[in-house]
A and B are shown apart, each in its own frame.
Chain A
């Protein structure tokens, strides 16, 4: 596309089918402790997959 560049992002609709394992980090257990944001949480499944593909 000439005028639009689409970044590669996780397909959220697709994640409804295979997500929800609950292994990811609890949001507040890291550096904030006073707010909530899950944007910076990594998916453990994705991390495991990346590790096994190494």
Chain B
């Protein structure tokens, strides 16, 4: 499968199944488009006239296209389907990542929160050390030969249960050597409770911290308010700046959400840059289409445009020696994921699970609170095998809509939670999300091509 597009003056050809990317001129772009449906003579007639080049030159380019096809770098057939279940089958019941909901409560009251202000549509609660410890024991016991184990301190607001987070890190460090494991901890926080202790401990122990900031003060303070209705921008920004500087401006993400209030999110990216942050992530809001903060069709057009502006800005800033990172434009063309990872999805419900303050297991943080998806608990393990098998069988090839999609080996079939909320099935697709994803990939690949010019 071949995908062709033009962006920022570049003619780009992606060969989905080989993972090859080609930057071509106008004539080659048209030749590749016609190659499978026209004879060489037909192509030569059309292209030589259109671009005022000799037929010999066209034939030469056709030969180049043919040699790329022979090398498996163009029109590569999709032979991966038989592999789709092998990775998960081979992995068996291995678990390697947990999202620990150490706090089902929050000190902010953001109306757009997918976790209903941290409560996940249930009771407020904090995870006890005993539950957290059992979760870590469960992870180690079920991780098989996997060495790298990931644990995210999540909420609600995890800093409302900071002492337990610290104790759990200490406990994990005390057992990792004997089990030949390497824990990687991350912290996702709204910043309100960041202090010197949080900074010092996190810089020592957290491989990454995710800091929630929506950008412009008026945008941030529209949703991210305390229970008295006061905006949190002025309170958290100095803390974030101190935190990030103390981490040498690395291993963090400033993570924003854009909604109907700010589809023009580049202004928020600019604010983040002005505040000195360079590792950025902006995500579309996840909510019901009836929610007032939901993105509309008109917003989507603006967002698509913003992604292009963002890509161009990144190229410009890099040239000027002031680069910044956008999470969704990070692609590693040489060292990226293998085909098994690309076709088997995010691993929710199998190698990745969320743990509630009470020790219940869910396929991921976005399913917490929905009883139908409760998989079991950290003492008995997974007992709801039917639900788990539904997730285990999720992959690129289990979604018919993905069959003809050029981006399928970049998105891995998409987010099961988004699919479920959009269609009622974890094996559905969330079309708006797909469109935004494809746009982001087109932009990310264009940036890589632009870098060749430098």
Contacts and interface: CB of A to CB of B under 8 A. Distances in A.
Instruction: Give the size category of B's interface with A.
Output: 35 or more
Interface in A20-53: 20, 22-47, 50
Given A8-B334, A26-B97, A16 B411 contact: no
B227 interface: no
A46 B335 CA distance: 6
A10 B64 CA distance: 21
A36 B426 CA distance: 13
Contacts, number: 216
B352 A26 contact: yes
A9 B19 contact: yes
A10 B19 contact: yes
B334 A26 contact: no
Which secondary structure characterizes the binding site on chain B? Answer: mixed
Contacts of A36: 345-346, 411-416, 418
B337 interface: yes
B83 interface: yes
A16 B339 CA distance: 6
A20 B148 contact: no
B146 A23 contact: yes
B5 interface: no
A31 B334 CA distance: 22
Interface in B46-104: 57, 60-61, 64-65, 68, 72-73, 76, 79-80, 83, 86-87, 90-91, 94, 96-97, 99
Interface centre among A4, A11, A40 (most CB of B within 10 A): A4
Nearest to A12: B19
Given A35-B433, A50-B335, A6 B18 contact: no
Interface of A: 1-13, 15-16, 18-20, 22-47, 50
Interface of B: 17-25, 27-28, 57, 60-61, 64-65, 68, 72-73, 76, 79-80, 83, 86-87, 90-91, 94, 96-97, 99, 114, 146-148, 150, 152, 154, 184, 186, 188, 208, 210, 253, 255, 281, 283-284, 286, 327-328, 330-342, 345-348, 351-352, 364-366, 409-418, 433, 437, 440-441, 444, 448-449, 452
